[in-house]
Amino acid sequence: MPSEKVLEAKKAQVAEVADLLKAAQTGVIVDYRGLTVEEDTDLRAKLRNANVKYFVMKNTLLLRAAKEVGLDALEEVLHGPTAIAVSSEDAVAPAKVIADFAKGNDKLEIKSGFMDGAVMTLDEIKKLAATPNMETLIAKMMGSLNSPISSLARLLSTIVEGGVEMVDLAANKAGEAAEKEEAPAEEAAPVEEKAEEAAPAEEAPVEEKAEEAAPAEEAAPTEEKAEEAPAEETAEDAE
């Protein structure tokens, strides 16, 4: 008969496993019989990397723990060498890792499993194993969320770039229009210069006429001399 100390240790072990089963999102029970030490080590490493707890336990103790959390239906499969893989973080990981490993090693047999307090059939476990893991699901979800955001970003970028191009085009058009408006004013300047040049041309005849009129004043003494000349001749005749 087991000692009281041994019984207390078993009770503590059952309570600990019951807490694991209660906290687990999913669990998969397997028969590991036939696995080599190397194969078993490889399986444990894969499960550990997926944050899945894996341990071997006597069927009687595992059944007590299962009954404490309402998984009495597991009694049908709790015979022979039994190991269990549970995860409280990823509902897919235990089934996925176990199923992927079993594809390359038929010595590992899946007995049963559970999810959220309910026992699953083998078909349900296989379907769960085919579901993408949490990281893949998150990546796909983020991809689906980013897709419309990226499209919106590209659309907004196109609109902004188009707006900038329209502004530049409008500025160029305004500049060309301003140049066209200023061009006639620059061309009109020679006309004014011609008008200024034409003004001296009109004044020139007046000055020339004035200069031509000057000899007329010089001619006046000639007339005076002409008038004086007859006077002298008359005096001589008088003598």
pLDDT tens, position by position, for the chain (239 residues)? 567 888 888 999 999 999 999 999 999 999 999 899 999 999 999 999 999 999 999 999 999 999 999 999 999 999 999 999 999 989 999 999 999 999 989 899 999 999 988 999 999 999 999 987 666 666 666 666 655 655 556 656 665 555 555 545 555 555 665 565 555 544 444 444 444 444 444 444 444 443 444 444 444 444 444 344 444 444 344 33
Question: Do the Cβ atoms of 87 and 52 come closer than 8 Å?
Answer: yes
Task: Round to whole Å and give the CA distance between 22 and 69.
Answer: 6
Closest CA to 56 of 87, 80, 24, 92: 80
Taking the complete model, does pTM exceed 0.75, yes or no?
no
**What is the reported pLDDT for 229?**
43
Decide the pairing of beta strands 53-56 and 109-115. unpaired
CA distances 61 to 28, 55, 117, 199, Å, are 16, 13, 18, 127
- Give the contacts of 117 (CB within 8 A, at least 6 positions apart): 69, 70, 71
Question: Do the Cβ atoms of 97 and 49 come closer than 8 Å?
Answer: no
Per-residue pLDDT tens digits for 84-98: 999 998 999 999 999
Place of tokens 């893949």: 136
> What integer best gives the mean pLDDT of the chain?
74
Task: Round to whole Å and give the CA distance between 92 and 138.
Answer: 13
**What is the reported pLDDT for 199?**
46
90: left (phi over 0), alpha (psi -120 to 50) or beta: beta
**What is the reported pLDDT for 150?**
59
**What is the reported pLDDT for 83?**
96
What is the Cβ-side half-sphere exposure of residue 174, based on CA atoms within 13 angstroms?
Answer: 6
